[in-house]
Amino acid sequence: MPQMKPMNWLNLMMYFLLSLLFSLTNLNFFMKKKKKKIFMIIYNFKFKW
């Protein structure tokens, strides 16, 4: 398991926050068509770490 440096942790945190923001911004659009698929993607993304 690679050693986590503070900078790497910060990058991961920023990436996560940006992804979350992107998801919230496009939530309405995704809800209309691919609600279940998007939910599974987010679910898998959370537990992939």
Does the pTM exceed 0.85?
no
Specify the higher pLDDT residue, 34 or 23: 23
Domain of residue 41 covers 6-46
Please answer whether residues 19 and 46 qualify as being in contact, where contact means their C-beta atoms are separated by less than 8 angstroms.
Answer: no
Report residue 43 as tokens: 């679910």
Asked if residue 36 belongs to a domain, the reply is yes
pLDDT-based confidence at residue 48 (cuts at 50, 70, 90): low
Q: Where do we find the tokens 């939910």?
A: 39
User: According to the model, what pLDDT value does residue 21 have?
Assistant: 83
pLDDT beyond 70 at 49: no
Average pLDDT of the chain to the nearest whole number: 73
Asked if residue 13 belongs to a domain, the reply is yes
Asked if residue 27 belongs to a domain, the reply is yes
What's the pLDDT tens digit per position in 27-38? Answer: 766 666 666 676
Number of domains in the chain: 1
Asked if residue 1 belongs to a domain, the reply is no
